[in-house]
Amino acid sequence: MKSLYAQVAVVAPIKGLLTYLVPQELSTIKPGAIVSVPLGKRKSRGFVFAITETPPATEFEIKSLDSIDAEYPAEIFAPKLKWIQWLAEYYFHPIGMVADSVLPPLSKLQKNTTRKRSPIPDFPPEAPFQLNPEQHEAYHAIAADSGFQTHLLYGVTGSGKTEVYLHLFDKVLAAGKTGLFLLPEISLTPQLVNRFARRFGSRIALLHSQLTDRERTQFWWEMVQGEKQILIGARSALFCPVPNLGLIVVDEEHESSFKQEEKLKYHGRDAAIMLAKEMNCPIVLGSATPSFESWLNSEKGKFKLHRLVKRVGDVQLPEMRIVDLKKSATRSKELGLPFWMSEALHTELQSNLENNFQSALFLNRRGMSQSVICPACGYTKECPNCDIKLTLHAHNHLVCHYCDYHESYKSKCSDCHEGTLEPLGIGTESVETEIKKLFPTARVLRVDRDEIQNRIDLENAIEQVEKHQVDILIGTQMIAKGLDFPNLKLVGLVLADVGFNLPDFRAGERAVQLILQMSGRAGRHRKENEPNGVVILQTFNPDSEIVQMASQSDYEIFCKYDLKNREIFSYPPYGKMISFRIQSRDLDKSQQTARMLSERCFNLKDKSESFDQIQVLGPTESPIAKIRNEFRFQIILKANNASVLHRFAKIVLQNEKWIPTMVKLYADVDPMNLL
């Protein structure tokens, strides 16, 4: 018999596949098998991508496979191999480490543990709601495609996108297929899980970071073995080898949290589209504020666009009122209110309390204050590990939100030893303190990363609001998206300017998305004789284009305006970008490596006319120049042609032996964060 050779992706920082000889006793091996292989002086797990009879052209001894992992049949992973290869190549990540992401965290044979609370609640079955004409039209247009097609479901907040999803999954399950529903983050999960549980009962499974390893393993196998039919999860749920996939839905597709910032820097939305293409099934991207990438793709005809322009039940969008904090400050002081509490917001809060309605105050900044400063010398407390000012929490400790450094808050200035450190700015914690003083009888709940530590905390918080055990909800962007509270009539954007002026070309897009998403929590349900929802948008820049466009609640107008600016400078989605981040604990090494990388880029440009279009920007210090004691520099590559840019970056990254020890080089394709 001829010898067989296996092309194996080993779980190690190796970019390509390695070749191993298949022993005679393992000759029935197939692509998709998980194997144990020798790697140097140790054993490694590997994933078989191909079997061939052709020996590699090498003078080195070809080592043999050790064994096959019988727990995972090859048929489970074989359909995902091409998708895994695409991820590894597109995002410049070792293929074996990408492949390893498809496995559950624990062995199937490990003993189960008792759950403190089931992640999926028991609900009596609920019949599908009748779709309104807009929903009906969108549903039928999407359901008409059984093969691969990307659909963009653009619907205003409260327009019933979720009900369209549920009808689509009904159709998929009736055809004997399975579905995958992706959410950007855990804060969106509880209410949607409840909604799916009421419709599909025990047929749903969950995968996200707030589950235990045992829960994730159990749900993984239930999907793989066909015991469940719909998988709901965060971006990592994409790696679960769901069989017979008939539909993928990516809800809130615009969310930047779909992009993983560490290790494999993939974008969940883009990876989901490629998975749908590989599995030949339709994919639906849903949002009230679509990403510019998806919007432009719909204009070009690559995505099919479906609009839901009205709220369900003809409920009106909330009334948006802009408050100029510069002008309102004097009146607030006269009324004994904090500077951030305008008379208009105070009046609406009081009215809501009197009428037994709920209110939500949004501020995308947690803690007591943004920083502390000495008025005598101007000194501010900074993190010793990061190029970041420390945030004051609970009036007694200073915290870095990047490395979690803590220190006690001492009012005496440690620099001049004369002045007193005073809080500067506000955070959700200080808003909560002031609200309790102003409205002592109100039931107040704060929802941010300090208060919500796990899934149980979040579920309890949402349950309190749903049962109307909360009058005023205060929170960060955790409360801004996807949540639906029937009694919530007022939304106050305490300081809408936060995030406007970040050194990022996406700052305006994100600011408008956040404003409209948060505004969309107000007045989603309205009984007869009840008032419409109200949004108080407080800002120091009422005439800014961002505020004016957001106040019109017309996202399309803003898209068209900002896309023109993007096109002028060839920023995404018109141009493509790849960023290189160089970091090290040694400042000189980090800086020198950045310069060497820049030289490699410019030398490559000079050698080939095909790379003339490539723009090399940098090297420069990253906007946040140090995190966790590592100094950070960056180089950005830009080009209009994605394939040319990718080929250029691949050549630059070849032969990384020139990189000094103790220096890390990260490539980020389609970066979402340039800070």
Cα angle for residues 386, 390, 395 (degrees, 5° grid):
155
Tokens linked to 202: 């025990």
Give the three-class secondary structure for 9.
strand
CA–CA distance, 157 with 111 (Å, rounded to integer) = 44
What lies within 8 Å, CB to CB, of 302 at 6+ separation is 150
In CATH terms, the fold of domain 4-102 is GIY-YIG endonuclease (3.40.1440)
**109-129 burial by CB neighbour count: b if 16+ within 10 A, else e?**
eeeeeeeeeebbeeeeeeeee
Q: What is the pTM of this model?
A: 0.94
CA–CA distance, 356 with 413 (Å, rounded to integer) = 46
The architecture in CATH of the region 133-313 reads 3-Layer(aba) Sandwich (3.40)
How many C-beta atoms lie closer than 10 Å to residue 147's C-beta? Answer: 10
Tokens linked to 70: 């019988």
CA–CA distance, 185 with 481 (Å, rounded to integer) = 10
DSSP characters over 565-624: HHHHTT-TTTSEEEEEEEEESSHHHHHHHHHHHHHHHHHHHHH-GGGTT-EEEEEEEEEE
Give the three-class secondary structure for 656.
helix
Mean pLDDT by 10 residues, the chain (675 residues): 93 94 96 97 96 86 95 97 98 98 88 61 85 98 96 96 97 98 77 91 91 93 97 96 98 95 96 98 97 97 97 92 94 95 97 97 86 91 94 89 92 90 90 97 94 85 94 91 89 88 85 92 88 94 89 90 92 96 97 97 95 96 95 97 96 91 96 90
What lies within 8 Å, CB to CB, of 267 at 6+ separation is 258, 259, 260, 670, 672
CATH number for 576-669 (one of 3.30.70.600, 3.40.1360.10, 3.30.360.10, 3.30.70.250): it is 3.30.70.600
In CATH terms, the fold of domain 315-365+428-565 is Rossmann fold (3.40.50)
pLDDT of residue 187: 55
CA-to-CA dists, residue 453 to 47, 397, 461, 484, 549, angstroms: 36, 19, 11, 21, 35
CA–CA distance, 415 with 413 (Å, rounded to integer) = 5
- Sign of CA pseudo-dihedral 509, 512, 518, 522: negative
Tokens linked to 263: 């290790």
Phi, psi of 613 (to 5 degrees): -75, -15
H-assigned helices in 483-577: 507-519, 545-551, 555-568
The letter for the amino acid at 359 is: S
Phi, psi of 118 (to 5 degrees): -65, 135
Strands 4-10 and 42-52: antiparallel
Least Cα distance to 569 among 471, 640, 463, 510 occurs for: 640
H-assigned helices in 410-493: 428-438, 455-466
Contact 645, 574 (CB under 8 A): no
CA–CA distance, 359 with 475 (Å, rounded to integer) = 11
Q: In the 8-state DSSP scheme, what is residue 457?
A: H
Q: Where are the domains of the chain?
A: 4-102, 133-313, 315-365+428-565, 369-425, 576-669
Cα angle for residues 543, 549, 550 (degrees, 5° grid):
105
Strands 630-639 and 615-627: antiparallel
Contact 383, 630 (CB under 8 A): no
- Sign of CA pseudo-dihedral 55, 56, 60, 66: negative
CA–CA distance, 570 with 568 (Å, rounded to integer) = 6
The answer to whether the 133-313 and 315-365+428-565 domains have the same CATH topology is yes
How many C-beta atoms lie closer than 10 Å to residue 412's C-beta? Answer: 11
